[in-house]
Chains A and B, each alone.
Chain A
Amino acid sequence: MKVKRRRSRKGVSPVISNLILIAAALGLGIFVYWFALTRSTIATTDYANVVGTGIEKLEERFVVEHIEIKYNISEDNYDVTIWIYNYGKIFVNITDLYLEHTLVNDDPIRQIIKIGEIKPINITSDFMPKFVQVQSERGTVVVGS
């Protein structure tokens, strides 16, 4: 009598199911880790940017040290030289200049002043300004007279 030997497939499905479970668990774990890492990186970057901007603004200090106004007879206007001194701990980018309340420049001036440096800005005015306002890229406004 020929005995038919039946191949046992009884243990295959639990192995596969276990593999699937392990893969799912690993995938989920990696996803959770990746998600947490990404979110924390974004949060860290955002926070660093906010704090960094705040620190830059904290470190920014400049002053209008001197103003020289000369009357130009031939042009019937005034040559105004504004000396700006950076006594802060970070460079200053001067973008806007106001003679009294009138914005002088159409485009940003973009005058970079290094730490401890003093730089003149020359402009021409139709009137003799009583005071000037200088604004930096970081939004700091300094009044000089």
Chain B
Amino acid sequence: MRGELLLLGHKLRHYNSGLSTVVGGALIVGVILSVIAPLFIYMNNLTNFYDTISTEMRDLDQQRTWEMLGITVRNSTYGENRTLIFITNHSPIAVNITRIWFIPSISDHRMYVHTDLPNVTADDLFLYPEETLIINDDVINEYIEDEELLYDVYDIKFATERGNYFIAEFLEPTPPQPGYYLPLAIDGTKSSIDVNGSTLTMDLTVDNWMEDPVNVSYIVVTTLYTTGGTPSQIKILNADSDNHFPTVFPIIFNNSTGWMWSTVTPFVITQVNSGAVVAKVELVSDESYIIGAYYFIPN
């Protein structure tokens, strides 16, 4: 009997010798399952999330490069102030215009959102591919209260939700139609313009050949392919008389920022192409009609 018990005890001890191995293995498996596996799962999820965000942002960047708005502004024709802004979405995706910048040459730049535009809704500014939005001067007159902005030389910039902005291209005013005439005849042949970009000496002889006096309220000097100007009160031109307009406009030239008229509060104007300055002078009546125009072409 005693011998049998001893044998049983020996067997049990023999069996116990493998127990720690099993427990150790179970512990390792437990550690792997409870610690290391979640770690890898978490890292994998994080990596997948990173890849997802990366793809989203890459798509955003790609869509941003696709955005293309064609914006043309048909500015006032001679004798009447009509402004039409044509905005066409040339991109393959819808474009949401979020802000419109009006950049006058002499006054503060102004930013408008759609809520500033009484006749334009947010839906109007959401353009589908090849859709065109036309903003006419009725709308402009409503939300640009300052008349100066209408008659000043300005740029218009449209900013989109994806962080692009597009600057409007200004088309030249429609030339006078046959049978239509400007009341002021301007002779600017005594003027000179320095091609090297230092000074525009404007020497105008203005002939009012109408029967009535004409009140010139503004003189707007514009460099073609660039914008800029200096409105100022001029004088009343008597009927059928010559008036002399000697004015010198020194120009500060900067290779990157463009041209700047320094006789008035300076402002930045955008030079689209380099080369000789071709300037245009327009005389504007107190009724905001362009009543005289002259083009300067460098010698």
Is residue B159 contacting chain A, with contact meaning CB distance below 8 A? yes
Beta-carbon contact of B162 and A47 below 8 Å: no
Nearest CB of chain A from residue B164's CB, rounded to whole Å:
8
Is residue B161 contacting chain A, with contact meaning CB distance below 8 A? yes
Q: Which residues of A contact B36 (CB under 8 A)?
A: 36, 40
Residue of A nearest to B37 (CB): A40
A55 to B266, CA, bound (A): 44
Is residue B120 contacting chain A, with contact meaning CB distance below 8 A? no
Identify the A interface with B (CB < 8 A).
25, 29, 32-33, 36-37, 40, 43-44, 47-48, 51, 54-55, 58-59, 61-63, 65-66, 68-71, 73, 81, 83, 85, 87-89, 116, 118, 128, 130-131, 145
Residue of A nearest to B28 (CB): A32
Nearest CB of chain A from residue B108's CB, rounded to whole Å:
7
Q: Which of A44, A66, A130, A145 contacts B111 (CB 8 A)?
A: A66
Residue of B nearest to A129 (CB): B257
Beta-carbon contact of A70 and B43 below 8 Å: no
A40 to B161, CA, bound (A): 42
Q: Which of B23, B42, B43 contacts A25 (CB 8 A)?
A: B23
Q: Given the known inter-chain contacts A25-B23, A54-B50, please indicate yes or no for A71 contacting B57, CB distance below 8 A.
A: no
Nearest CB of chain B from residue A141's CB, rounded to whole Å:
15
Chain B contributes a number of interface residues (CB within 8 A of A) equal to: 41
Beta-carbon contact of B57 and A61 below 8 Å: yes
Q: Which residues of B contact A62 (CB under 8 A)?
A: 163
Is residue B109 contacting chain A, with contact meaning CB distance below 8 A? yes
Q: Which residues of B contact A48 (CB under 8 A)?
A: 42, 46
Residue of A nearest to B20 (CB): A25
Residue of A nearest to B39 (CB): A40
Q: Which of A29, A36, A58 contacts B53 (CB 8 A)?
A: A58
Nearest CB of chain B from residue A56's CB, rounded to whole Å:
9
Residue of A nearest to B268 (CB): A69
A113 to B166, CA, bound (A): 22
Is residue B99 contacting chain A, with contact meaning CB distance below 8 A? yes
Interface digits, B186-207 against A, CB 8 Å rule (1 contact, 0 not)?
0000000000000000000000
Q: Which of B47, B54, B109, B163 contacts A61 (CB 8 A)?
A: B163
Beta-carbon contact of B256 and A145 below 8 Å: yes
Nearest CB of chain A from residue B67's CB, rounded to whole Å:
11
